[in-house]
Amino acid sequence: MKEYLKSICFIGARGGLNGVPRKNLRKLGNNTLIAHTNRSSLESGIFSHVVVSTADAEIARISKKYVAEVPFSRPRRLA
């Protein structure tokens, strides 16, 4: 049986949004929106890795808790 490579999911998550401030940290049921996004991406079976790019320390912490990779903190000037 051949083993196929899976895709990597990239999530760009800003903390300071103009329309809905701190949207990614808002509760949706029992978890935050970013937690749901990370979990859904991993559970889909489509992706081998979920990578989150953010300048927000709280989003990075929650993403790591839900097994996403946060390899670096994006500079705020690039957000």
pLDDT (tens, 9 = 90+) of the chain, 79 residues, equals: 566 677 999 999 888 777 888 899 999 899 999 999 999 999 998 998 999 999 899 999 999 998 899 988 877 676 6
Asked, for residue 1, whether it belongs to a domain, the answer is no
DSSP label of 73: B
In the chain, the number of structural domains is 1
Q: Give the C-alpha separation, 43 to 77, whole Å.
A: 32
Asked, for residue 32, whether it belongs to a domain, the answer is yes
The residue count for the chain: 79
Of 44, 30, 38, 79, the C-alpha closest to 62 is 38
Asked, for residue 37, whether it belongs to a domain, the answer is yes
Asked, for residue 20, whether it belongs to a domain, the answer is yes
Asked, for residue 49, whether it belongs to a domain, the answer is yes
Q: pTM for this one?
A: 0.81
Range of the domain at 40: 7-78
Asked, for residue 2, whether it belongs to a domain, the answer is no
Asked, for residue 38, whether it belongs to a domain, the answer is yes
